[in-house]
């Protein structure tokens, strides 16, 4: 599986960046449980001690990797409040699909750990989930303000549906339907989302 490095210039030092990239490649191939610190260090071209110096443990490395990737996703998903709400919603979903296509291994890690019970990174994932919910919630709040919506549906349920649908459609396209175009995936998501509207 090909992966792209999770880059944030100026925010992550060079050694940590190498460790993030190496661990993401290995985790994408085999999953976090099957990857050792020795393998991560070798792939990054650093000593095993360097991994522990920067992160303390493999578990902490993966926790920071999750935070790093979600921070990048947040940067892409920050809504443009000058757009009409449905345009902003479609833009958010499109950027989510684009992110998952660019970082397939991170997508698999995020999806697998978000719904794993229990996950070794539950506390970290709970915090990251709330951050993404806040961003998506801003856009859906505007949709409810600008359109008639089904008020019997709880707003947080719609936020969960929006993010969950984007994650699953993105992953399904990546794993099972690479021939499905971005436009087709986005149209399917918007068909589900517009079911929230009465008008």
| Residue 80 phi, psi dihedral angles, 5° rounding | -95, 105
pLDDT for the residue 2 = 47
Q: How far apart are alpha carbons 75 and 190 in whole angstroms?
A: 22
User: What are residue 149's phi and psi, to 5 degrees?
Assistant: -125, 170
Inform me whether the pLDDT recorded for 12 exceeds 80. no
Q: How big is the chain, counted in residues?
A: 199
pLDDT at residue 55, rounded to an integer? 93
Cβ-Cβ contacts under 8 Å for 141 (sequence gap 6 or more): 155
Distance CA 31, CA 92 (A): 28
Q: How far apart (Å, rounded) are the C-alpha atoms in residues 8 and 71?
A: 9
Pull the structure tokens for residue 174.
Answer: 């990546």
Q: What is the pLDDT of residues 110-166, one digit of tens each?
A: 888 888 888 889 999 999 999 999 999 999 999 999 999 999 999 999 999 999 999
Look at residue 30 in the predicted model and tell me its pLDDT.
Answer: 85
Quick check: 40 and 21 in contact, CB under 8 A?
Answer: no
| Structure tokens that stand for 73 in this block | 């996703």
* Phi-psi label, residue 45: left if phi above 0, alpha if psi -120 to 50, beta otherwise: left
pLDDT in tens, 33-91: 899 999 999 999 999 999 999 999 999 999 998 998 898 899 988 888 899 999 999 99
DSSP conformation letters of 102-140: H-HHHHHHHHHHHT-SS-TTHHHHHHHHHHHHHHHHHHH
CA distances from 57 to 5, 40, 41, 128, 130 (A): 21, 12, 12, 20, 25
**Nearest of 72, 156, 139 to residue 107 by alpha carbon:** 72
Residue appearing with tokens 């961003």: 135
Reading the block at residue 71, the tokens are 């921070």
Ordered structural domains, the chain, with CATH: 14-196 (1.10.357.10)
């Amino acid at each position: 599986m090909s992966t792209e490095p999770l880059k944030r210039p100026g925010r992550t030092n060079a050694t940590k960046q190498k460790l993030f990239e190496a661990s993401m490649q290995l985790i994408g191939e085999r999953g976090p449980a099957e990857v050792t610190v020795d393998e991560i260090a070798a792939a990054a071209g650093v000593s095993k001690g360097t991994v522990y110096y920067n992160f303390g443990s493999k578990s902490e490395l993966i926790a920071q990797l999750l935070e790093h990737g979600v921070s990048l996703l947040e940067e892409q998903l920050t809504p443009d409040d000058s757009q009409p709400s449905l345009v902003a919603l479609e833009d958010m979903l499109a950027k989510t699909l684009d992110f998952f296509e660019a970082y397939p291994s991170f997508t698999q890690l995020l999806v697998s750990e978000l719904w794993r019970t229990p996950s070794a990174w539950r506390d970290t994932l709970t915090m990251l989930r709330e951050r993404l919910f806040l961003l998506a919630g801003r856009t859906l709040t505007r949709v409810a303000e600008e359109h008639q919506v089904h008020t019997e549906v709880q707003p947080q349920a719609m936020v969960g549906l929006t993010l969950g649908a984007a994650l699953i459609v993105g992953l399904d396209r990546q794993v099972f339907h690479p021939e499905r175009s971005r436009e087709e995936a986005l149209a399917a998501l918007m068909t589900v989302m517009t079911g929230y509207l009465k008008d």
